[in-house]
Amino acid sequence: MGKERIGFIGVGLMGHGMAANIVGKGYPLTVLGHRNREPVEDLKQRGAAEAGSARELAEACDIVLLCVTGSPQVEAVINGPDGLASAGKPLLIIDCSTSEPAVTTRLAAELEPKGITLIDAPLSRTPKDAWEGTLDVMVGGGSDAVARARPVLDCFAGRVIETGPTGTGHTMKLLNNFLSMGYAALYSEALTLGAKAGLTPTVFDSVIRGGRMDCGFYQTFFKYVLERDRNAHRFTLRNALKDMTYTSSFANAAGVANPLGAAVRNSYALAVTGGHGDDYVPMLSDITAGLNGISLVPEADAEGSS
Q: Mind telling me the catalytic residues?
A: 173
Query: Do β-strands 123-124 and 6-9 pair in parallel, antiparallel, or remain unpaired?
Result: unpaired
Sign of CA dihedral 78, 79, 81, 86: positive
At what angle are helices 284-291 and 168-196 packed, to 10 degrees? Answer: 50
Other CB atoms within 10 Å distance of the CB of residue 273: 10
Buried b (16+ CB within 10 A) or exposed e, 83-114: bbbbbeeebbbbbbbbbbbbbbbebbeebeee
Report how far residue 276's alpha carbon sits from residue 269's, in angstroms, rounded to the nearest whole number: 10
CA distance 124 to 107: 23
**Helical (H) or strand (E) element with 157:** strand 157-164
Helices 259-271 and 284-291 pack at an angle, to 10 degrees, of 90
Give the contacts of 101 (CB within 8 A, at least 6 positions apart): 120, 167, 168, 170, 171, 174, 250
Q: Classify strands 157-164 and 135-140 as parallel, antiparallel or unpaired.
A: parallel
Instruction: Report which of 159, 170, 178, 192 is spatially closest to residue 259, judged by C-alpha positions.
Output: 178
Distances (CA, A) of 5 to 23, 131, 133, 153, 157: 10, 21, 20, 14, 19
Calpha distance 277→296 (Å, rounded): 20
- The angle at the Cα of 45, spanning 42 to 46, to the nearest 5 degrees, equals 90
